[in-house]
Amino acid sequence: MKAYELLFFIDPAIDDESRLATMKRIENAIAAGEGTIDNVDNWGKRKLAFEVNGLTDGDYTLIDFHADPANIAELDRVLRILDAVQRHMIVKREDRD
């Protein structure tokens, strides 16, 4: 298992029920690959550096997790098809292995 960080943002206008459903789907994708979530840090609403899909603000979340490198592609696929997730980035953390 390798350590990873997932940073993503969603539209801050989305209701809480949709936000929770999105988080649950991401957690299930990590767990399906036998990964473990170490920490979830909700950064809240932040101003974007430039407009993305008509949005000037985003609700950011940072997730630290451990997963098998072979399962990262599936997590990336899930994040791409989730309509609520506007942008995401998965980074391998060598310092946390």
- Which residues, in sequence order, are bridge partners of residue 85? 10
Q: What whole-number distance in Å separates Cα of residue 35 and Cα of residue 75? A: 10
Please say if the pLDDT value at position 95 is more than 90.
no
R_g of the chain computed on alpha carbons? 13
pLDDT of residue 17: 94
Output the pTM of the full model: 0.89
Start-end of H helices in the chain = 16-32, 72-81
Evaluate whether 67 touches 75 at the Cβ level (below 8 Å): yes
Residue 27 in 3-state DSSP? helix
pLDDT bin (cut points 50, 70, 90) of residue 43 is: very high
pLDDT of residue 8: 96
Residue 77 in 3-state DSSP? helix
pLDDT bin (cut points 50, 70, 90) of residue 75 is: very high
Classify strands 85-92 and 55-67 as parallel, antiparallel or unpaired. Answer: unpaired
